[in-house]
Amino acid sequence: MTRKERAALIDRRLAGLYPDPPIPLDHRDPYTLLIAVLLSAQCTDKRVNQVTPALFALADSPEEMMKQPVARIQEIIRPCGLSPRKAKAISELSALLVRNHGGMVPADMDQLETLPGVGHKTASVVMSQAFGVPAFPVDTHIHRLAQRWGLTNGKNVKQTEADLKKLFPREYWNKLHIRIILYGREHCTARGCDGTRCGLCRDCFPRRRSPVVTNKA
């Protein structure tokens, strides 16, 4: 089976499993999504969804958030980890949104990446999930599964993203990246599958017997 044939198989199978995949992070608008994605760095979406109600009850707009003491933001988001850095970024990016963008989250990848605490992956998630612009955010789940499925050599996240964008039609990207995340959590987990156990791994490489050692993101 060629790489393109595996990609087509994976796309069909995941579309059948998750025809209308939900956005994993609870949010109300582009701003609350941006904050939730920022908090999700080195933290589970489940934990973020437990924390954000209290944070957004305190402030759910850049105008309100910039008025809050960083210490207060940090206190609320502490369960998400890296709270000093994240709290500072939330405060600073909120002020920048008010000062430079009229309090609105820009629908522009380059402008998003200039905001404190917002890297390429975070910007990609916001572009795809808040604005519907095709993007392929690559997190640890996607990076690991793309290697197990032989869709990339896995040298780094940037290369994995480029490889996946070449394999799948642009109009599939936004739903597909969520589908891969969901499948990785439910079936092809870091410890539950080694590239030989889950259905897709077996179908992509039916003769594979040795575990796949994947490069970290």
What pLDDT is attached to residue 90? 98
Q: Which positions ≥6 away from 157 have C-beta within 8 Å?
A: 121, 138, 143, 217
CATH of domain 30-131: 1.10.340.30
Indicate the domain borders of the chain. 3-21+136-204, 30-131
How far lies 23's CA from each of 61, 75, 83, 153, 159, in Å? 20, 26, 24, 28, 24
What CA–CA distance (Å, rounded) separates 192 from 202?
Answer: 14
**Average pLDDT over the chain, rounded to whole?**
96
Catalytic site residue 175?
no
| Residue 21 pLDDT > 80 | yes
* C-beta of residue 176 within 8 angstroms of C-beta of residue 11: yes
| Residue 150 pLDDT > 90 | yes
| Residue 217 pLDDT > 90 | no
- Whole-model pTM? 0.92
| Residue 155 pLDDT > 90 | no
Residue 115 DSSP symbol: S
Mean pLDDT within 188-213? 94
Q: Is the dihedral of CA 123, 107, 80, 138 positive or negative?
A: negative
> Active-site residue among 67, 88, 108, 121?
121
What is the assigned CATH class of domain 3-21+136-204?
A: mainly alpha
What pLDDT is attached to residue 80? 97
> Active-site residue among 4, 45, 88, 139?
139
Mean pLDDT within 34-52? 96
Catalytic site residue 203?
no
| Residue 216 pLDDT > 90 | no
